[in-house]
């Protein structure tokens, strides 16, 4: 998907609070760089990777400026980092980096996405699609560049309009601390080209068989990293080619 720095290391950015997931990644030979709780973001989602950082198509990583330790570590690993300011706890200002990038398009809230990042994407040939859903990245699980899963009708319409195959699933059943429910995009990530890794027991979802069949149709196997209840931890950003 995104172009990443050539390296033999497998590195993933993930919420610091997701210790069971971090251990599961380690067992698979994947190093986890953690996102600390950000005081500028809402409690409950303050350490979510999909709110604090964004892997750009050119391989650079945009990171909220409050994440000083993460920025330092990424630079030490040789990554180009773009510090971003302006996030706040008020929706949609907590979504300055929360956008869905796939197949040459970017789905994001038109007033929320950081202006500098918008310009970089446009200059890089990415087509911007404006969404009423600020949590665009949280709301969709990418199966590949041409297939996605979402419970959001707006995201469904925008992606379908670009020729992307979309599985529309019911909202709910995914936990998120402090909220009524979490989003499917925040509960999983592509751990490899042919594996969609959920952070907990996706098999407990009432619509799991539909997800499993959709993924299989697209050459992807569903795996569970832990035996914990499935929850939205803000996804994970893989800094290696999948």
Residue 99 lies in a domain: yes
Q: What is the pLDDT of residues 58-81, one digit of tens each?
A: 999 999 999 999 999 999 999 999
Residue 3 lies in a domain: no
Domain of 92: which CATH number? 3.75.10.10
Residue 125 lies in a domain: yes
* Mean confidence (pLDDT) of the chain: 96
- Predicted pLDDT of residue 217: 98
Residue 190 lies in a domain: yes
Residue 4 has pLDDT above 60, yes or no: no
Mean pLDDT across the stretch 200-227? 99
Q: What is the pLDDT of residues 37-58, one digit of tens each?
A: 999 999 999 999 999 999 999 9
Mean pLDDT across the stretch 112-133? 97
The string of DSSP codes covering the chain is -------S--EEEEETT-HHHHHHHHHTT-EEEEEPPPTTS-TTSTT-HHHHEEE-TTS-EEEETT-HHHHHHHHHTT--EEEE----SSTTGGGTT--EEETTEEEEETTTS-HHHHHHHHHTTPEEEEES-S-TTTTEEEEETTEEEES-HHHHHHHHTTT-EEEE--S--SB-TTSS---GGGGEEEEETTEEEESS-GGGSTTHHHHHHHHHHTT-EEEES-SSPPB-----EE-S--
**Residue 103 structural domain:** 11-238
| Confidence band of 6 (pLDDT split at 50, 70, 90) | low
- Predicted pLDDT of residue 66: 98
Domain count, the chain: 1
């Amino acid at each position: 998907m995104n172009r990443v720095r050539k390296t033999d290391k497998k590195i993933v950015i993930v919420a610091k609070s997701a210790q069971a997931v971090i251990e599961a990644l380690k067992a698979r030979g994947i190093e986890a760089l953690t996102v600390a709780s950000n005081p500028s973001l809402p409690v409950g989602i303050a350490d979510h990777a999909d709110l604090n950082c964004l892997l750009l198509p050119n391989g650079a990583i945009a990171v909220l400026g409050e994440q000083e330790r993460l920025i330092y570590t990424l630079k030490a690993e040789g990554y180009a980092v773009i510090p971003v300011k302006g996030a706040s706890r008020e929706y949609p200002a907590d979504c300055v980096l929360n956008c869905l990038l796939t197949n040459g398009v970017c789905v994001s809230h038109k007033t929320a996405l950081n202006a500098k990042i918008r310009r970089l994407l446009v200059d890089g040939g990415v087509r911007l699609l404006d969404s009423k859903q600020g949590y665009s990245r949280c709301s969709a699980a990418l199966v590949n560049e041409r297939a996605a899963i979402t419970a959001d009708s707006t995201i469904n319409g925008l992606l379908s309009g670009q020729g992307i195959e979309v599985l529309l699933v019911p909202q709910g059943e995914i936990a998120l601390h402090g909220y009524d429910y979490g989003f499917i995009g925040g509960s999983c990530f592509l751990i490899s080209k042919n594996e969609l890794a959920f952070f907990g027991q996706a098999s407990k979802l009432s619509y799991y068989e539909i997800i499993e069949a959709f993924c299989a149709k697209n050459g992807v196997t569903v795996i569970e990293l832990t035996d914990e209840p499935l929850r939205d931890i803000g996804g994970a950003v893989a800094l290696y080619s999948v």
